[in-house]
C-alpha cells in the first residue's frame, strides 16, 4: 500500500492537478480525434534552429554554461528585446536564461514573495499562475475579466480587487486562453495603477510575436515601468521550440540577482544545445516566425468565422493561437459541452473553466492545427449541434 502522500506538504496537497493534461491523455488514446486542445505549435521547429542545436552537439558542446546563460545568447536577447520591445537590458546584469517562461516565472515569484504576500493576476488565465503563486506560500488574487468587456483587464477591475498586502501584478498579453490583448492606453492605466500601489509587474510576453492586428506594446517600455517590471519571454510559441525548454527573464539587477541565486541552486543553467538554438532563432529566425504567424492568422480567421456561422459567438482573438467561443447558446456548461462533443464527434476543446471561473460558458479551441483539421472540426461541431437541436426540440 502506498501511503507516502502523508509526507507531502500541506500546500502541495491542496493544489489541483492540471485538468487539461488529464483530458488530453484521453484524447491521445482516441482514434480519429481532432484535437483543438493543446497549447503548443503544430509546426516543427524551423530547420536552421534545429541545425544550430545539432551543430552544437557535433562540436562537443555538452557542458554547463554560465548560470545566466551563454553570453552570446544574452547579447542576442538584449538586442532582440531592445529592437522589438523598446526596452534595453544589460546582458551582464539584467538578463537570465531559464528553462522556459515556466521556470522564469517560478523563480521570480520565489525571489520576491514572502509568505502571505498577495499577487494580483487576471482570469481567465494560463493554468499555472495561481498554483505557482500558492507554491510560494503567497495568496493569488484573481481579477475577473468578462466576456461583456471582451475579457479586457481594466484599471477599474484591478482597483476593485486590490487589497493591502498586494506586492506584485502578473500580466499576460496576448492572453491565454482568450486571445485578448491590451492597447497602449490600457497599459498606461495599468502602469499608473502599479506605480500608485508600488507593485512589481511580472509581464508574461510569451505570445507577443503572435499579435495579428496592430503592434504589441510591452508594459516594461512605458515611462517609469522598466524599474518595476520583470519581462518574461521565451521561444516556445513564436519559434515553435516548446521541447527546447528555453526562455528568459529581464529586469532590474536587484531582482535578477535574487532570481539568479535560486536558479543557480535549483537549475544551474538551461541546456547548452537549446541555448545555441535560441541564438539562431533570435538572429536569423524572423522570416520563419513570420511565416508561422501568417498561417495562424489564416486559421484564426477560418475558425472564428466557423464558430460564428454555427451560432457559437466568437470574438476575434488579437493574438496567441486560441479562439474562445461562447458555448452557452447550447444550454450546456463548459465541461459538459467539451465532454459531450468529444464523445459524440471526437473533437477536443478545453472547458473555459479550466482557466478560472470567468471562463464559464466558454471553451478554448487552439488553432495551432492544420487548416484541414479546422474545416473538419467545424463540420463535426455542426453535426453535434444539429443532433442536439433535434433531441432538445
Binding residues for ligand PLP, rule: CB under 6 A, are 39, 100-102, 126, 172, 176, 204, 206, 234, 236, 242, 247
CB 77, CB 282: distance < 8 Å: yes
Query: Scanning the structure block, which residue is given the C-alpha cell 541555448?
Result: 275
State which residue, 307 or 322, has the beta carbon closest to ligand PLP: 322
The residue (of 136 and 385) whose beta carbon lies closer to ligand PLP is 136
Given a contact cutoff of 8 angstroms between Cβ atoms, the answer to whether 97 and 74 are in contact is: yes
> 133 vs 381, which CB is nearer to ligand PLP?
133
Q: Which is nearer to ligand PLP, 281 or 385 (CB)?
A: 281
Q: How far is the CB of 206 from ligand PLP (least distance, A)?
A: 4
Smallest gap from Cβ 296 to ligand PLP, in A, equals 14
Strand duo 139-144 + 166-172: pairing: unpaired
CB of 386 to ligand PLP, least distance (A): 33
Asked if 197 contacts 160 with a C-beta cutoff of 8 angstroms, the reply is no
Q: 168: Cβ–Cβ under 8 A, 6 or more apart, which residues?
A: 109, 112, 113, 117, 119, 120, 199, 200, 201, 202
C-alpha grid cell, residue 123: 482570469
Nearer to ligand PLP (CB atom), residue 242 or residue 264: 242
Q: Distance of CA 102 to CAs 110, 128, 134, 246, 331, Å?
A: 12, 8, 15, 9, 36
Minimum Å distance from CB 37 to ligand PLP?
A: 12
d(CA 187, CA 218): 8
CA 327, 328, 330, 335 dihedral sign is: positive
Q: How far is the CB of 237 from ligand PLP (least distance, A)?
A: 7
**Shorter beta-carbon distance to ligand PLP: residue 101 or 310:** 101
* Neighbouring residues of 281: CB distance < 8 A, sequence distance ≥ 6: 46, 49, 235, 239, 241, 289
Compute the least distance from the CB of residue 232 to ligand PLP, in Å: 8
- Minimum CB separation of residue 211 from ligand PLP in Å reads 14
Separation of alpha carbons 95 and 193, rounded Å? 26
CA distance 16 to 270: 28
Compare residues 178 and 334 and give the one whose CB is closer to ligand PLP.
178
Choose between 106 and 385: whose C-beta lies nearer to ligand PLP. 106
Alpha helices in the chain (DSSP H): 10-13, 19-29, 47-58, 71-85, 100-112, 129-134, 155-161, 184-196, 253-266, 272-284, 286-309, 334-345, 371-392
Measured CA to CA, the distance from residue 249 to residue 111 in angstroms comes to 12
The distance of closest approach from Cβ of residue 179 to ligand PLP in the complex, given in angstroms and rounded to an integer, is: 11
Amino acid at each position: 500500500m502506498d501511503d507516502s502522500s502523508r509526507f507531502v506538504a500541506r500546500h502541495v496537497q491542496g493544489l489541483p492537478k492540471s485538468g487539461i493534461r488529464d483530458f488530453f491523455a484521453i484524447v491521445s488514446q482516441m482514434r480519429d480525434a481532432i484535437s483543438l486542445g493543446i497549447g503548443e505549435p503544430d509546426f516543427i521547429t524551423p530547420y536552421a534552429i534545429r541545425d544550430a542545436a545539432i551543430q552544437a552537439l557535433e562540436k562537443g558542446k555538452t557542458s554547463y554554461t554560465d548560470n545566466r546563460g551563454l553570453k552570446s545568447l544574452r547579447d542576442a536577447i538584449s538586442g532582440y528585446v531592445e529592437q522589438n520591445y523598446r526596452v534595453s537590458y544589460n546582458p551582464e546584469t539584467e538578463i537570465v536564461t531559464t528553462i522556459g517562461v515556466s521556470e522564469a516565472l517560478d523563480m521570480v515569484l520565489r525571489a520576491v514573495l514572502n509568505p502571505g504576500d498577495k499577487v494580483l493576476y487576471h482570469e481567465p488565465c494560463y493554468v499555472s499562475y495561481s498554483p505557482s503563486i500558492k507554491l510560494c506560500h503567497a495568496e493569488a488574487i484573481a481579477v475577473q475579466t468578462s466576456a461583456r468587456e471582451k475579457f479586457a483587464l481594466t484599471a477599474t477591475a484591478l482597483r476593485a480587487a486590490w487589497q493591502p498586502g498586494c506586492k506584485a501584478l502578473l500580466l499576460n498579453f496576448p492572453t491565454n486562453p482568450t486571445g485578448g490583448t491590451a492597447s497602449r492606453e490600457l497599459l498606461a492605466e495599468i502602469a499608473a495603477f502599479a506605480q500608485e500601489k508600488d507593485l512589481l509587474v511580472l509581464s508574461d510576453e510569451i505570445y507577443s510575436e503572435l499579435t495579428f492586428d496592430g503592434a504589441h506594446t510591452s508594459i516594461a517600455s512605458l515611462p517609469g515601468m522598466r524599474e518595476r517590471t520583470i519581462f518574461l519571454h521565451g521561444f516556445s510559441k513564436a519559434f515553435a521550440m516548446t521541447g527546447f525548454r528555453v526562455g528568459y527573464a529581464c529586469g532590474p539587477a536587484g531582482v535578477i540577482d535574487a532570481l539568479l541565486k535560486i536558479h543557480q541552486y535549483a537549475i544551474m543553467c538551461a541546456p547548452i544545445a537549446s541555448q545555441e538554438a535560441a541564438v539562431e532563432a533570435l538572429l536569423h529566425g524572423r522570416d520563419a516566425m513570420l511565416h508561422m504567424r501568417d498561417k495562424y492568422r489564416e486559421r484564426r480567421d477560418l475558425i472564428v468565422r466557423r464558430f460564428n456561422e454555427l451560432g457559437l459567438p466568437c470574438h476575434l482573438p488579437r493574438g496567441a493561437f486560441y479562439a474562445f467561443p461562447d458555448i452557452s447558446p447550447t444550454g450546456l456548461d463548459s465541461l459538459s459541452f467539451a465532454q459531450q462533443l468529444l464523445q459524440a464527434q471526437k473533437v477536443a476543446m478545453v472547458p473555459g473553466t479550466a482557466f478560472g471561473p470567468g471562463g464559464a460558458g466558454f471553451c478554448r479551441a487552439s488553432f495551432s492545427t492544420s487548416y484541414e483539421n479546422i474545416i473538419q472540426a467545424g463540420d463535426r461541431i455542426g453535426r453535434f449541434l444539429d443532433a442536439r437541436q433535434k433531441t432538445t426540440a
